[in-house]
Amino acid sequence: MAKTEVVLTHNLVGLGAESDQVKVAAGYARNYLFPQGLAIPLTATNKRRLEVLRQRRVEREAHELSSMTELAASITKMIIKIAVRTGADGKMFGAVTAGTIADELKHQCDISLDKRKIHLEQPIRALGDHEVELRLLPAVTATLKVKVESTTPLEVPVVAPPEGRPAPAPPEAKPGRPFREGRGPREGRGPADRAATGKEVRPPRPEGRAGRPRPERDTPKEKQPEPDRPA
């Protein structure tokens, strides 16, 4: 395949940056790079533009360094929550990838980031808190906190009592206040009830006036007639 040498006029990931001289396939340069204005043929005339392209590259890289440094400081304070489906035992269906994190960054924080800048040694396959490294620039990195949560409620295991020990009995309900009709005596508060509960039994109160016997009184003597007085 024939090769041709070109000068890049824009930053192309995986190929080079402005003012770089690279060799590419002749058909790729003729059909894509030149029509899109991403590169120019390497000729004596175009070499004079190299200085302009180098200056543009320095300005672009300085701007990217400043913006990415600010972005890294902001990302370090963020927590991205990702909801996943799990089984009853808490195991995830599928995994969280760099593309998933990039989509959540865009959805939750309105940050557009190339998923290739999100460095994962392997996809996340467990619930909980994770720290993900972001390589924004060769000299700028950040750590993003990712919290993976389950949308499926977990089953709470029932703990059986140890062998040889009976299960604890439920607490007994306290007796409520007995119903009282009219002015009758209250149940559960008599001397017999207090004796059954082990409390001190007080002597019964004396009966009221209605039941207290009255002492017998002597019957009044008949009134004797007064003797006649002399006139």
> CATH assignment of 76-150?
3.10.430.100
Neighbour-count burial of 77, counting CB atoms closer than 10 A to its CB (0-12 exposed, 13-18 middle, 19+ buried): exposed
Domain boundaries, the chain: 3-64, 76-150
Beta bridge partners of 145: 79, 131
> CATH assignment of 3-64?
3.40.5.10
Angle at 108 (CA atoms; ends 105, 110), nearest 5 degrees: 65
Model's pTM, two decimal places?
A: 0.54
CA distances from 63 to 58, 73, 137 (A): 9, 16, 12
Tell me what the mean pLDDT of segment 142-164 comes to: 76
Choose the most confident range, by mean pLDDT, from 44-48, 148-152, 216-220. 148-152
Instruction: Indicate if the pLDDT at residue 172 is higher than 90.
Output: no
Instruction: Indicate if the pLDDT at residue 117 is higher than 80.
Output: yes
94: phi then psi, degrees, rounded to nearest 5: 85, -155
pLDDT at position 213 is: 57
Q: Which helix (H) or strand (E) holds 6?
A: strand 3-8
How far is Cα 129 from Cα 102, in angstroms, rounded to an integer?
17
